[in-house]
Amino acid sequence: MPELANLAAQGTLPGILRQLSGLGGCTHPIRLDGHRTEYDIDTTTGEIGRILQHLDSTSLPAGQLLVRCNNRRTTRCPACAEVYRRDTFHLITAGLRGGKGTPEQVGTHPRVFATFTAPGFGPVHNRRTDGRPCRCGLHHDQDDDTLGTPLNPDTYDYEAAVLWNAHAGQLWRRFSIYLRREVAKRAGLSQRRLRDHARVSFAKVAEYQRRGAVHFHAVIRIDGPEGGNTPPPAWATADLLTDAIETAAAKARVDGPTIDGRTHTFTFGSQLDVRTIRSADFNDGQELTERAVAAYIAKYATKGAETATGALDRPLKFVAELAQLDISDHARTLIRTAWTLGARKSLEHLRLRAWAHMLGFRGHFSTKSRRYSTTLGALRDARAEWRRAQAATARTPQPETTYVLAHWVFAGTGLSDTEAWLSASLEPAPGTEGEPTR
Ligand SMILES: [Zn+2]
Ligand SMILES: [Zn+2]
C-alpha cells in the first residue's frame, strides 16, 4: 500500500489514526472542506478579540473534516446504526424506568407494550404455531425464503398492501386521538378534562413483516396531569389502558384514494397484541420486562424493509434497475407497484416513487410523544458536548464569550482505501453503560 508508506514517511500516520478514531467506526463519513475559527470576545467592549482556535480542513491529516454519516440502517453503516440502536434503547428505557431527565417514578405508572399489524392482503406462506403444515402443504423452516410470500401472487392485493404502508402513519395518528378519547370515556371524563387528570404518552417503532407490511410496536404509558413526574390517578390501570387501546385500534380508520373505481379504506389488522410491562423488580421471569421491551424496540429501529423482505436500503432512481437487483419476486412486485402507483397525479402527495424502496411507507421509524422521555437529538447533543469537553481538557471554553466563524462545503462521502484499512485496524470504541449486546 504505497499511500500508507507515504503517510508513515511524512509522519502523518498518528494524526490520521486520531482523526479516524473520532469517527467511532463510521465507514461512510461525510467529508467537508472549509474552516472554523473561534474568537475571544472582549466582555467589556463586546468586540471580537484574538483567535482562540483555528481549524482548516487542508491542515487535517485526511485533508478534509470527516463527520459521522449517522445512518440508522445496519446495512448502510454498522457503526452509526449501533449508535442509533443504543440511543433508542436509552430513550425507551428512560421512558420505562426513568433516567436522562425522566423521573424514576414512571416505572410505577401503568405501561403496556402493544403490537399493531396490517390486515391481510391475501394468503401467504407461514409457519403455524399448532404444528400443522402451511396451506401449501409444506412445513417451512424458520429461514425459508418463501415465508411471507403470497401463495398466489396473481391474486395477492399488492395495490392495497403498498397503499396501506403509505397510510400507516396517518392510521397511527388517528389511533392516538381515539386512544385519548377512549381513556377519557373509561374515566368518566370529557376529552378536554382528561388533560387535568392524566396524560397518555408513547414511543413506537415501525417494523416490516416478512410479507412487506409495516407494523408498529409501541410502549404506551399513563402519567399524571404534568407527565412523568406526577402520579397517575387511581383509575388509571394497565387493564383500563389495554381495554382503551383495543377499542381505539378497532375504531381507527383512514379513508384512502379511489383507484380505477375502487375506494380504499385502511384499518389495522385484527391481530393486536397488548401486554402489561412489569418492572424488573416484580418480575418472576414470566412477564415482559422493561429491558426486553427496550432491547426489542431498539433492535428494530435500525432495520428497514431490506432486512425482513429482502427489498432495498436506498431509493430507486429508475424502474429499470429493478430487473438487475438480486431481490425476491415478492419484494420486486411490491416496489414495482409503488413505482407504478407513483405515476398517478391523485397520489402525488404519497410520494410513492421516492418511497418505493420502503414499499410505500414514508413515516418515521421511531417516534414518540413529547412527554415520553428524552429525545434522540438530546442524546446526540450530550454526546457531542462530551466529546468537545474531552477535546478541550486543557482549556475550558466559555460559550458566551467566544464567537465562532465557520464555513464548510460538502466534498463527498466515504473513506479512501487506505483510510478504510486503517479504520478497520482501530479498536472499536468502548460502549456506554448497561446495554444489552446483540
Ligand atoms: Zn456512519
Ligand atoms: Zn407454504
333-345 pLDDT tens trace: 999 999 999 999 9
| Residue 284 or 385, more confident | 385
| pLDDT per position as a tens digit, 211-221 | 999 989 899 99
Asked whether the predicted pLDDT for residue 438 surpasses 60, the reply is no
Instruction: Count other C-beta atoms under 10 Å from residue 326's C-beta.
Output: 5
**Cα-to-centroid distance, 78 and ligand 1 (Å):** 7
**Cα-to-centroid distance, 114 and ligand 2 (Å):** 28
Name residues whose C-beta falls within 8 Å of residue 45's C-beta, 6 or more positions apart in sequence.
Answer: none
Please report the pLDDT score of residue 397 as a whole number. Answer: 46
68 within 8 A of 80, measured Cβ to Cβ: yes
277 conformational bin, left if phi > 0, alpha if psi -120 to 50, beta if neither: beta
**Cα-to-centroid distance, 122 and ligand 2 (Å):** 13
Overall average pLDDT of the 177-193 stretch? 95
Asked whether the predicted pLDDT for residue 12 surpasses 80, the reply is no
Three cell numbers at 20? 479516524
**Cα-to-centroid distance, 1 and ligand 1 (Å):** 24
Cα–chain center distance at 215: 13
Asked whether the predicted pLDDT for residue 240 surpasses 90, the reply is yes
Percent of the chain with pLDDT over 70: 82
- In which band, very low, low, confident or very high, does the pLDDT at 116 lie, cut at 50, 70 and 90? very high
Residue 177, classed as helix, strand or coil, is helix
Please report the pLDDT score of residue 125 as a whole number. Answer: 93
Q: What is the distance between the alpha carbons of residues 238 and 110, in angstroms, rounded to a whole number?
A: 5
| pLDDT per position as a tens digit, 34-67 | 887 888 877 777 777 788 778 888 888 888 888 8
Query: Whose grid coordinates read 398492501?
Result: 161
Pairing label, strands 48-56, 111-116:
unpaired
Of residues 356, 371, 310, 302, the one with CA closest to residue 146: 310
| pLDDT per position as a tens digit, 251-298 | 999 999 999 999 999 999 999 999 888 765 544 545 567 777 777 777
Ligand nearest to the CA of 146: 2
| pLDDT per position as a tens digit, 386-408 | 555 555 443 444 455 667 777 77
Please report the pLDDT score of residue 74 as a whole number. Answer: 81
> In Å, how far are 74, 152, 325, 332 from 313, measured between CA atoms?
10, 26, 12, 13
105 within 8 A of 343, measured Cβ to Cβ: no
Residue type, 40: D
Ligand nearest to the CA of 133: 2
- Would you list the domain boundaries of the chain? 2-71+378-437, 103-121+157-311+365-372
The CA dihedral of 206, 207, 209, 215, to the nearest 10 degrees, is: -20
**Cα-to-centroid distance, 186 and ligand 1 (Å):** 47
Ligand nearest to the CA of 148: 2
Model confidence, pTM: 0.75
Which residues, chain by chain, have CB under 5 Å from ion ligand 1? 26, 69, 77, 80
The rounded mean pLDDT for the chain is 82
**Cα-to-centroid distance, 33 and ligand 1 (Å):** 18
**Cα-to-centroid distance, 135 and ligand 2 (Å):** 6
423 conformational bin, left if phi > 0, alpha if psi -120 to 50, beta if neither: alpha
β-sheet bridge partners, residue 102: 99
Overall average pLDDT of the 183-192 stretch? 95
202 within 8 A of 114, measured Cβ to Cβ: no
Please report the pLDDT score of residue 379 as a whole number. Answer: 67
